[in-house]
Amino acid sequence: MTERLAKFSGLLHIRHSVQLTFISIFCVFLVVALGLLNIFPTTVSRQIVFNAKQSALLNQASIFSASLAALELLGVDGVEQVMELVDVNEFDRVIVTDSAGVTLYDTNQRESMLGAVCDFSQAVRALGGEVVFSCYYDGDTFFSRAAMPVVSYDAVIGAVYLYDEDEEQAALINSIQSQIRSISLVAGALTMLAVVCLTHGLTRRLRELVDAMRIVREGNYDYRIAVRGGDEVADLSAAFNDMTQRLQSTDELRRRFVSNASHELRTPLASIRLLSDSVVQSENMDVATMREFVTDIGSEAERLQRLTEKLMRLTRMDAGAVTAEKTDVDLKKVAERTVHLLEPLAQQKDVTIYTELESGVVIRTVEDDIYQIIFNLAENAIKYNNFGGNVFLRLSRGTDGAVLTVEDTGIGIPEADLPYIFTRFYRVDKTRSRQFGGSGLGLSIVHDTVRQNGGTVTVARRETTGTRFTVTFPRQMEAGAAVQKGENEP
């Protein structure tokens, strides 16, 4: 029963398949084409025979008629004498009548009409002055009839009637017809077989693709489809594999991001838990120690807050969410405000911040984006600096657009780590970074924010010591650039 159901659903599947549609359309075309191929040549050859018969019979009839016209008055003897001089044997029957329709001559001995009135319609019409020809094909024989008046001095003095049966030509046409039919059947069967095989191959490959999509949809991103040949289906398979590869990388990135994020969140949470347990469990804790513990809890909570803020920012950027409306942002002002905010951190490390900021560098962007970029770079330049080191913050307007550089005389980044420095959660020295409250997300935020704004960020080691980050914002971002463009447009 279930087998039958499966078969039935299989049939239903076929009903909607591309293969069946192809085969049905092709069948219709094939039947029409083969039908035409069978009908056309036989119709034409039949017509050719008709025409040949017509000219042959009428030619002869006119020769007979002209010969008889010389008699002026038709009689049995006179007609017989004339008819002996012409060749009547190529026809199955030749009849000559007088003007009243009485048969004077008949080559058919068995059913001879001699002396009787010839009532063949063609002969009757010929006596009325008409030249008549008719031909009929019954599938095996061509039956041709021709009749012509015998005219002497403008008067119809009799009629000539010719009758011809031709089986030879009919047999020839029949043999051509049957040969065309056999060739059509073989060609049709072979073409049909080829179409079934081809469409089967095509639909099998399409079904493979659909199956592959289902497998990938179920989460198996490792699955790849075999790319065979160089046709459009092969292109589709290659595109599918490429898309799956991308999905797999995105999925891997997402997993790594989630796992790294949970790991990063776990550390401060564990510290908070440990510290709060200590406070709760120790009965005789003095106020100073308790205050110290609570302060630690506070700084861990602060770290947690910073981390979640960064995570949320990155997630928002990944989702392509529009953060805020763009305004004309004066980069110098944002840089000065950021330096001011970082002053206490710099003092803690005895780091001097030098600034060279060109005025009037205004770009159209979101102010918080610029703040995030400068803050993260400058904070790192202080955090990863040596005691008593320097930070140089420069802003200028280059030929390619606004250029912001953050340089430090700090510990530097090893050459091997430079390509990965903008990767999420990447840290050169984990313990050192954590010690500064780092999460490995700051530079990712810088990178993604700069890119979202159409700019570029690069990193390089400084000649002697330290690191240099260069951010470039393209000219078209400069305030007024879009307006000018709009004005110049036709």
Q: Which DSSP category does 5 fall into? A: H
Closest distance to ligand ADP from the beta carbon of 420 (Å): 9
122 token code pair: 């063609």
Q: What DSSP letter does each residue of 353-410 carry, written as one string?
A: EEEEE-TT-EEEE-HHHHHHHHHHHHHHHHHTSPTT-EEEEEEEE-SSEEEEEEEE-S
CB closer to ligand ADP out of 187 and 341 = 341
Rounded distance, CA 61 to CA 147, Å?
Answer: 7
Beta strands in 99-229 (DSSP E): 103-106, 132-137, 142-152, 155-166
Q: Which DSSP category does 128 fall into? A: T
Show the binding pattern over residues 368-407: x = contacts ligand ADP (CB under 6 A), - = does not.
--------x---xx--x-----------------------
CB closer to ligand ADP out of 402 and 443 = 443
- Which residues, in sequence order, are bridge partners of residue 406? 393, 469
Closest distance to ligand ADP from the beta carbon of 265 (Å): 14
Helices 287-318 and 232-281 pack at an angle, to 10 degrees, of 170
Task: Check residue 97 for interaction with ligand ADP (CB under 6 A).
Answer: no
Residues 6+ away with beta carbon under 8 Å from 144:
53, 54, 57, 133, 134, 135, 136, 162, 163, 164, 165, 166
Closest distance to ligand ADP from the beta carbon of 483 (Å): 35
Helices 18-69 and 76-85 pack at an angle, to 10 degrees, of 120
Residues 6+ away with beta carbon under 8 Å from 214:
none
CB closer to ligand ADP out of 248 and 465 = 465
Closest distance to ligand ADP from the beta carbon of 205 (Å): 47
Among 97, 439, 449, 472, binds ligand ADP (CB under 6 A): 439
Binding segment for ligand ADP among 22-30, 145-153, 189-197, 419-427 (CB under 6 A)? 419-427
Burial degree of 335 (CB within 10 A; 0-12, 13-18, 19+): buried
What are the phi and psi torsion angles at 324 (to 5°)? -155, 175
Task: Check residue 94 for interaction with ligand ADP (CB under 6 A).
Answer: no
Show the binding pattern over residues 166-195: x = contacts ligand ADP (CB under 6 A), - = does not.
------------------------------
Task: Check residue 149 for interaction with ligand ADP (CB under 6 A).
Answer: no
Among 122, 442, 449, 478, binds ligand ADP (CB under 6 A): 442
CB closer to ligand ADP out of 93 and 427 = 427
Task: Check residue 413 for interaction with ligand ADP (CB under 6 A).
Answer: yes
Task: Check residue 473 for interaction with ligand ADP (CB under 6 A).
Answer: no
Among 98, 106, 369, 408, binds ligand ADP (CB under 6 A): 408
Which residues form the interface with ligand ADP (CB under 6 A)?
376, 380-381, 384, 408, 410-413, 421, 426-429, 433, 438-444, 467
